[in-house]
Amino acid sequence: MKRTAAPFYWIAIPAAILFFAFHTFPALQGFFYSLTNSRGYGTFDFVGLQNYIDLFSDPSILNSYAFTFKFAIVSTIAVNALSLLLALGLTANIRLRGFLRSVYFLPAVLAVVVVSFVANFVFSTALPAVGQATGVEALSTNILGSQSLAWIGIVLVTVWQGCAVTTVIYMSGLQTVPEELLEAATIDGANGWQRFWSITFRLIAPFVTVNVILSFKGFLMIFDQIIALTGGGPGTSTQSISFLIYRNGFTAGEFGYQSANAVIYFIVIAALSLVQLRLLRQREVSA
């Protein structure tokens, strides 16, 4: 039996220790606190599964889950549809293609918080000023101040910034589509839509799987945009789960309770990711 060389252990063991120290141990510690009534400081008592039981009857938590899933579903569909269209355009034989690729990737370079604060200024000050000057009523109101429209502003900012990396992944997928197949389909009389749907889209199915899973998981954990754009408001209309865990866990004395919320949240995201992966992989095989 071949023995593993010692240097490999010297490489793997420190990495495993660091992973346990900064990932596994905090996760176990969070689960421990989820079984207590800890406020994040001072003494605490064990309450068992009571925190988990209370979660399912808490209106604020149920509302935050509803908002988060609505936002994640809409944003995932929008960012993937727009990114695929951009990728198709940026891989075509057009002028200034290299320059346009740099322009569309620029949002990925910018910090999320910086983009969100700039967008906050645009929505709250710049656009209303333009609307009032031009007489356009739709632009005269700050949508971030509306309980029914604030989430749309967050979607617009998030999708604009999320398209950068997603577009690059789709561009990589489009580069793998053989030109010979597309040329043969053209000779056989297939139009542009038929070539895309029957050949291109089916061949880039693995890239669609990656983008959908990554974007959906990322949007479920939205936090920075909420902080910079609305602060969870107006009221609690844009309060995501991550924001609720942070705010109530660290400032409202609900550390143990929100730790239980975080555990449930982790389980939900992991389960949804596995279901997504299974369903999309099945679609890849059937395609």
pLDDT by residue (tens digit) across 230-260? 999 898 899 999 999 999 998 888 999 999 9
Q: What is the pLDDT of residue 3?
A: 63
Phi, psi of 46 (to 5 degrees): -80, 135
Q: What is the pLDDT of residue 4?
A: 60
Give every CB contact of residue 287 below 8 A, 6+ residues apart in sequence. Answer: 202, 205
Q: What tokens appear for 141 in the block?
A: 């109101």
Place 6 in a pLDDT band, splitting at 50, 70 and 90.
Answer: confident
Protein fold of 58-286:
MetI-like fold (1.10.3720)
Angle at CA of residue 145, ends 143 and 146, nearest 5°: 70
Place 110 in a pLDDT band, splitting at 50, 70 and 90.
Answer: confident
Q: Which uninterrupted H or E stretch holds 16?
A: helix 6-19
Per-residue exposure over 9-31, b if at least 16 CB sit within 10 Å of its own CB, e if not: eeeeeeeeeeeeeeeeeeeeebe
Place 286 in a pLDDT band, splitting at 50, 70 and 90.
Answer: low
* Domain spans in the chain, listed from the N-terminal domain onward: 58-286
pLDDT at 83 over 90: yes
Long-range residue pairs from 58-62, CB within 8 A, at least 24 positions apart, any chain: 60/236, 60/239, 60/244, 61/241, 61/244, 61/261
Mean pLDDT of the chain: 89
pLDDT at 12 over 90: no
pLDDT at 287 over 60: no
CA 107 to CA 44: how far, in whole Å? 45
Query: Which of residues 40 and 78 earns the better pLDDT score?
Result: 78
* Mean pLDDT of all residues in 273-279: 82
pLDDT by residue (tens digit) across 48-79? 999 999 999 999 999 999 999 999 999 999 99
CA dist 25 → 1, 21, 99 (Å): 35, 5, 46
* Mean pLDDT of all residues in 6-32: 88
pTM confidence score: 0.87
Q: What is the pLDDT of residue 283?
A: 64
* Mean pLDDT of all residues in 260-275: 90
pLDDT by residue (tens digit) across 149-200? 999 999 999 999 999 999 999 999 999 988 888 889 888 888 888 888 888 9
